[in-house]
A and B are shown apart, each in its own frame.
Chain A
Amino acid sequence: MTDVESSRRQSMVVGGVLELLAAVSLVEARRLYRLRTDFVAGAVVGDDTFPMIVGVALAVLGLYMLAWARLPALEVALPRGPIRARMLAGAGLLVAYAVLVPVLGYTAATAVASVALFGAMGGYRWPVALLLGAVTTGALYLLFRVWLLQPLPSGLLGA
């Protein structure tokens, strides 16, 4: 694909997304407008005004992208091989961490997540990851629980 084609395709995709967002904003503005005219007597502006302005601005911008814009041609190199695997592992572990915290509690979940992150994302061998995870969990425990007294989820295990 040439630079011009790539630039046009990018502009078309972005233009489409902007038109979609504009539609969402305008539909919401219309709903709020009806509420205002039905329930607030005499108000010339209201909660619908700004969503309407943003919606119109998005629509105009989207139209410009679809019809005229030439966004700078860009070759995005997606990660491959081991780096991609480490990134996916990191992202997956973050989601798992968010699920685990309310169940296991902050400290226990952090211990599990940190070891897994050092091993799978950091690329360390598991004994090293275990050591790093223990040190990190201890440091975060001292920082947040002991020193800053942050209220963090205790979970089912109370940890």
Chain B
Amino acid sequence: MDVLAHLASGFAAALTPTNLAMAFMGSLLGTLVGVLPGLGPTAAIAILFPFTTILTPVPAIIMLAGIYYGAMYGGSTTAILLNIPGEVASVPTCLDGYPMAQQGRGGVALGISAIGSFVAGTVGVIALTFFAPLLADQALRFGPPEYFGLMVLAFTVVVSLSGASLAKGMSMAMLGYLVSLVGMGPSTAEPRFTFGYDRLMGGIDLIALVVGLFAISEVFLGLEEARTAIAARITSVLPRWADLRQAWPAILRGTGIGFLLGLLPGCSPGVTVFLAYDVEKKLARDPERFGRGAIEGVASPESANNATSSAGFIPLLALGIPASAPLAILLGGLMVYGLQPGPLLFAKNPEFVWTVIASLYIGNVILLILNLPLVGIWVRLTRVPFGILGPVILLMSFVGAYSVRNSMFDVAVSLVCGLAGYVLRKGQWPLAPLLLAYILGPLLETNLLESLSMSGGSPLIFVQRWLSLSLILAAVALLLTSLVLVRYANRRLRETAAAEMSL
């Protein structure tokens, strides 16, 4: 009952004109950037994130969440119409979505994708509503050693974000930790890794890093790829009754798989979509239809994708663990606004949390209402030439990097990160572990230092307290589970000839 009362107050706040407008604008902008060829949710959030910094925390996070959802949907549009998955989570959608588009059924594929995303997203948010507070109720039992255990648990996510090579993922994570150390030390405020250069004392700015790694590098990679839209016109996005009847079980199964696995902090949508697709294919009476435009082949992974993305908000808000790169940026966003996701967030900032949760319900409805009638516009947007898109993204990235601290130094950092991002992505070095470690690094360090100070320097403190020991054991279990799931997802990626993408 308490939860429902909190949710009601959240809705009251989320339905204020400003917050409603931000949810609408976030969904619209997210979809708009997400449908641009090759720009996945991570790049979309990276490009749009700086523009939310002029807002107060609640509308800013509502807008960011809308951008995230919108960009996820936008990624499906390019996967179906152009055979370009913005991120690995959209790869299975290409397998049947693009053949459907070639057969003149692109509208139906987009419609089913929107409906599946809506169902899965809503189920995920309902679970978030009731499940996350239970996790957060443990807040009072958390001291520095438990938080350290939580950060170790979060580190297991690196495995699922590592792509084809765990060694590469670990290297990138260590690089991320190293970058997070630049600036002032947490104990004595002594400058570290600044090498006498004062500008570095404020550290490397998150937005400059994200804009460079994910947005600027994307433009240069995009220049190399020929991206052409299908010529077919989209007439109707409303699926026929027969389509819905065929897709409905797949939507429910995809939602179930995506949601349940999404609860594991180390499981990203890149894993669950393949699992959902394979389950559907195995259950089908005529599996040979898959890969040739089977509607279940779109419905199931799309639902799984959104269910995992929504379920990802549970470990994000309740534990402070992001399951994917876009959620890592959202986590960074919360920190920029002075909020610390984790068990105490629900106790310290209940108004904020419940307003954001309510806005997720609203965002899902907005997306459904927005996407079905506006699909014609999204389709036209996929035809914007990269010669126009590239310069515009670069110019916007420039302002984005500058605007947070009004610093040309941050612009320079974003340019360097853009170059580094391009080189690393060409060499298939996964960037998400770097980002995750960069964001979690300061938290890990603070809790480690506080724990060791409490114990007089003895690391045994982490195994002497049952909750911190449980978290560390859970991390080991998740690590092993993630290794199995990632091996499976990588094998499927190779089979779909999309090995150049990483999880």
Q: List residues of A whose CB falls within 8 A of some B CB.
A: 14, 18, 21, 24-25, 28, 32, 35-36, 39-40, 43-47, 49-51, 53-54, 57-58, 61, 64-65, 69, 71-72, 74, 76, 78-79, 83, 86-87, 90-91, 94-95, 97-98, 101-102, 106, 110, 113-114, 117-118, 121-124, 132, 136, 140, 144, 148-153
- Do A83 and B224 form a contact, CB below 8 Å, given A61-B171, A65-B171, A74-B427? yes
Q: Which of B339-397 contact A (CB under 8 A)?
A: 385-388, 390-392, 394-396
CB pair A71 B168 closer than 8 Å: yes
- Do A49 and B391 form a contact, CB below 8 Å, given A57-B174, A151-B406? no
Residue picked from A24, A47, A58, A74, most chain B C-beta under 10 Å: A47
CB pair A47 B171 closer than 8 Å: no
Nearest CB in chain B to that of A29: its residue: B192
CB pair A83 B188 closer than 8 Å: no
How many residues on the B side are at the interface (Cβ–Cβ under 8 A)?
58
Q: Which of B193, B395, B406, B412 contacts A28 (CB 8 A)?
A: B193
> How far is it, in angstroms, between the C-alpha of A149 and the C-alpha of B426 when the chains are bound?
37
CB pair B452 A45 closer than 8 Å: yes
Is there a chain A Cβ closer than 8 Å to B110's Cβ?
A: no
> How far is it, in angstroms, between the C-alpha of A140 and the C-alpha of B224 when the chains are bound?
26
> How far is it, in angstroms, between the C-alpha of A34 and the C-alpha of B265 when the chains are bound?
39
Q: Which of A47, A113, A121 contacts B185 (CB 8 A)?
A: A47
> How far is it, in angstroms, between the C-alpha of A95 and the C-alpha of B213 when the chains are bound?
16
Nearest CB in chain B to that of A149: its residue: B54
- Do A51 and B181 form a contact, CB below 8 Å, given A35-B188, A44-B456, A90-B219? yes
Residue picked from B175, B181, B193, B419, most chain A C-beta under 10 Å: B181
Q: Which of B220, B385, B396, B427 contacts A87 (CB 8 A)?
A: B220
Q: Which of A65, A123, A152 contacts B167 (CB 8 A)?
A: A65
Known contacts A36-B188, A44-B457, A50-B177; 11 further A-B pairs (Cβ under 8 A): A45-B448, A54-B177, A54-B181, A69-B167, A78-B426, A94-B415, A117-B391, A121-B387, A121-B390, A150-B399, A152-B402
> How far is it, in angstroms, between the C-alpha of A99 and the C-alpha of B290 when the chains are bound?
53
> How far is it, in angstroms, between the C-alpha of A90 and the C-alpha of B398 when the chains are bound?
13
CB pair B411 A110 closer than 8 Å: no
Q: Which residues of the partner chain A approach B170 to less than 8 Å between Cβ atoms? A: 61
How many A-B pairs have beta carbons closer than 8 Å: the answer is: 161
Q: List 16 A-B contacts (CB under 8 A).
A: A35-B188, A44-B456, A45-B187, A45-B457, A46-B188, A47-B192, A51-B192, A53-B448, A54-B174, A87-B220, A90-B223, A106-B399, A121-B223, A124-B387, A144-B403, A152-B399
- Do A21 and B193 form a contact, CB below 8 Å, given A91-B419, A136-B392? no
Task: Provide the B437-463 mask, 1 if CB < 8 A to any CB of A, else 0.
Answer: 000010011001100110011000000
What's the minimum C-beta distance from A138 to chain B, rounded to whole angstroms? Answer: 12
CB pair A90 B394 closer than 8 Å: yes
CB pair A50 B408 closer than 8 Å: no
- Do A45 and B449 form a contact, CB below 8 Å, given A32-B190, A114-B391, A118-B387? yes
> How far is it, in angstroms, between the C-alpha of A71 and the C-alpha of B406 when the chains are bound?
41
Q: List residues of B whose CB falls within 8 A of some A CB.
A: 51, 54, 164-165, 167-168, 170-171, 174-175, 177-178, 181, 185-188, 190, 192-193, 216, 219-220, 223-224, 385-388, 390-392, 394-396, 398-399, 402-403, 406, 408, 411-412, 415, 418-419, 426-428, 441, 444-445, 448-449, 452-453, 456-457
> How far is it, in angstroms, between the C-alpha of A64 and the C-alpha of B275 when the chains are bound?
32
> How far is it, in angstroms, between the C-alpha of A78 and the C-alpha of B223 when the chains are bound?
12
> How far is it, in angstroms, between the C-alpha of A64 and the C-alpha of B170 when the chains are bound?
11
Q: Which residues of the partner chain A approach B385 to less than 8 Å between Cβ atoms? A: 122
Q: Which residues of the partner chain A approach B457 to less than 8 Å between Cβ atoms? A: 44-45
Q: Which residues of the partner chain A approach B174 to less than 8 Å between Cβ atoms? A: 18, 21, 54, 57-58, 61
Nearest CB in chain A to that of B167: its residue: A69
- Do A136 and B178 form a contact, CB below 8 Å, given A45-B457, A64-B167, A98-B415? no
Q: Which residues of the partner chain B approach A94 to less than 8 Å between Cβ atoms? A: 216, 394, 398, 415, 418
> How far is it, in angstroms, between the C-alpha of A50 and the C-alpha of B220 when the chains are bound?
35
Q: Which residues of the partner chain A approach B51 to less than 8 Å between Cβ atoms? A: 148
CB pair B190 A35 closer than 8 Å: yes
> How far is it, in angstroms, between the C-alpha of A37 and the C-alpha of B170 when the chains are bound?
32
> How far is it, in angstroms, between the C-alpha of A97 and the C-alpha of B402 when the chains are bound?
13
> How far is it, in angstroms, between the C-alpha of A86 and the C-alpha of B456 when the chains are bound?
58
CB pair A74 B428 closer than 8 Å: yes
Nearest CB in chain B to that of A86: its residue: B223
Q: Which of B54, B171, B448 contacts A18 (CB 8 A)?
A: B171
Q: Which of A18, A46, A79 contacts B187 (CB 8 A)?
A: A46
